[in-house]
Amino acid sequence: MSRKKDASLDTTVFDTVIDSGNTGMRAELADQLATLMLDPAAPEAEKELIVPALLKLAVDPVTGIRLRLAERLVQCDSLNADLVFAIIADSDDIALPFLAETRALGHWRMLAVAQVGDAARQMVLAQRGDLSAEVISHIAGHGNETVCALLLDNAAAELKPDDCRRLYVRFRDNAEIVERLLERADLPLEVRILQAKRAANRIHTLMAERGWIPANDAEAIVVDAEETTLLKILESAHLSELDRLIPFLCAKQMLTTSIILRAALRGRMAIVERALAYLTSSSLPKVRQKIASHGIMGLKSVISSSGLPASSFWLMRAAADLHADLAGRNRSLAPENFSRGVVEALMTRYDVIDSAEKMRLLDMVARLTDEHTRALAKKLKTSLARAA
């Protein structure tokens, strides 16, 4: 077949071949027209003129012709939208490989496939490396679990925090989706917190139903595990994330006294300060100033305004003093060592604390801290009891 190099290309011969030619002639025509579409030197006007013929070949009754056309056109950077969708609407063995590789899909066409395509096409789409934010958002909000799992497995797909939140809300009971979400370094910490809470609730329910251990012991174990996990999440957060997470925890009624005291015992004063600032509706600098004060208008007033029990004062005081001492010497301690430092401060630094109060504080430390510090606290309590 010869062709002219201008927009006066005679297309009647194409119609004749398509209407009257045999399978071999139509297959040859499909190959020649695809070659023209792939020729970067061919005038755009000529390419536009052959689109009607290509559309007819894209619905040819012979599968082999449609397949060959799709295999050639998949390499084109630009194709008529009707032609793209005609191929995508074909049988799966033709449409899906084309959809996976075509360079002519583009943002709006992808979005159309995401919105109206069947599950098979959405699955292929979810694995592409060039998904736009809108397409990802649509899949996260509307795709079935298989499609969304493939999206999460797609390393090239850049999910936004809202996409992860939406996937969690939709599939929080789907273990495979949740597992994929938890593996993501960019998963919003609110989602990790909610999942930790759900996991703790499930364990508590399971223990209660099966009666493995007494109910009170089961609750204590679950609460300890939940709060330990939650504190690890908070410790991993950047300061800007903490500013968002503290109100979130309060709204979910998860910012408990024990969480704040656990953070204090580990020297995580950034968490403590922000929690107290939020609970007292005060600024962070103002709370820091009051924590640094030893008078009645200082830490005690912050604790009172925050709703924390007065019995938490000495643990908070010891943690704040130790943290200030270390900061003044430009030093830091690992969380476990910090906890033991708090115990040492409680035993040696404050003469106004009597033995009975020290034993109560050691009980509190043993309940809220790590295994090694717990053992130390219990040992010291036993020694105090014997001395008394």
pLDDT of residue 3: 42
Q: With contact defined as beta carbons under 8 Å apart, do 204 and 219 qualify?
A: yes
Rounded average pLDDT over 209-215: 59
Over the stretch 329-374, which tens digit does the pLDDT of each residue have? 999 889 999 999 999 999 999 989 999 999 999 999 999 999 999 9
Q: Which of 183, 216, 233 is the last residue of a domain?
A: 183
Same domain, yes or no, for 177 and 287? Answer: no
Over the stretch 77-97, which tens digit does the pLDDT of each residue have? 999 999 999 999 999 999 999
Q: Please report, as a single letter, which amino acid is at residue 141.
A: G
Same domain, yes or no, for 20 and 155? Answer: yes
Rounded average pLDDT over 131-144: 96
Share of the chain above pLDDT 90, in %: 80
Q: Which of 183, 213, 247 is the last residue of a domain?
A: 183
pLDDT of residue 226: 84
Return all residues near 51 (Cβ < 8 A) that are at least 6 apart: 80, 82, 83
What is the number of domains present in the chain? 2
Same domain, yes or no, for 178 and 37? Answer: yes
In the structure encoding, which two tokens stand for residue 142, read together?
Answer: 């509307």
pLDDT of residue 67: 96
What number of CA atoms fall less than 13 Å from residue 49's CA on the CB side?
19
Q: With contact defined as beta carbons under 8 Å apart, do 119 and 113 qualify?
A: no
- The answer to whether residue 6 scores a pLDDT higher than 60 is no
Structural domain span for residue 345: 282-388
Long-range contacts, stretch 165-171, CB < 8 angstroms, 24+ apart: 165/190, 165/191, 166/137, 166/140, 166/141, 167/140, 168/194, 168/195, 170/140, 170/141, 171/145
Q: With contact defined as beta carbons under 8 Å apart, do 366 and 377 qualify?
A: yes
Over the stretch 167-191, which tens digit does the pLDDT of each residue have? 999 999 999 999 999 999 999 999 9
Return all residues near 282 (Cβ < 8 A) that are at least 6 apart: 276, 302, 305
Asked if residue 150 belongs to a domain, the reply is yes
* DSSP reduced 3-state for 331: coil
Q: Which of 130, 157, 183 is the last residue of a domain?
A: 183
Over the stretch 233-250, which tens digit does the pLDDT of each residue have? 999 999 999 999 999 999
Residue 5's pLDDT band (boundaries 50, 70, 90)? very low
Q: Please state, rounded to an integer, the average pLDDT across all residues of the chain.
A: 90
pLDDT of residue 101: 96
Rounded average pLDDT over 297-314: 91
Length in residues, the chain: 388
Torsion of CA 85, 86, 87, 89, to 10 degrees: 80
Rounded average pLDDT over 42-67: 94
- Of the given ranges (9-23, 28-42, 91-105, 168-182), which has the lowest mean pLDDT? 9-23
Distances (CA, A) of 373 to 228, 284, 320, 331: 15, 30, 18, 20
What distance in Å separates the CA atoms of residue 220 and residue 151, rounded to the nearest whole number?
39
What pTM does this model have? 0.79
Q: With contact defined as beta carbons under 8 Å apart, do 320 and 291 qualify?
A: yes
pLDDT of residue 316: 95
Residue 4's pLDDT band (boundaries 50, 70, 90)? very low
pLDDT of residue 225: 82
Over the stretch 25-35, which tens digit does the pLDDT of each residue have? 999 999 999 99
- The answer to whether residue 262 scores a pLDDT higher than 90 is yes
pLDDT of residue 218: 59
Same domain, yes or no, for 126 and 17? Answer: yes
In the chain, % helix, strand, coil (3-state, to 5) comes to: 75, 0, 25
- The answer to whether residue 219 scores a pLDDT higher than 70 is no
- Of the given ranges (222-231, 274-283, 313-322, 374-383), which has the lowest mean pLDDT? 222-231
Same domain, yes or no, for 61 and 175? Answer: yes
Same domain, yes or no, for 179 and 286? Answer: no
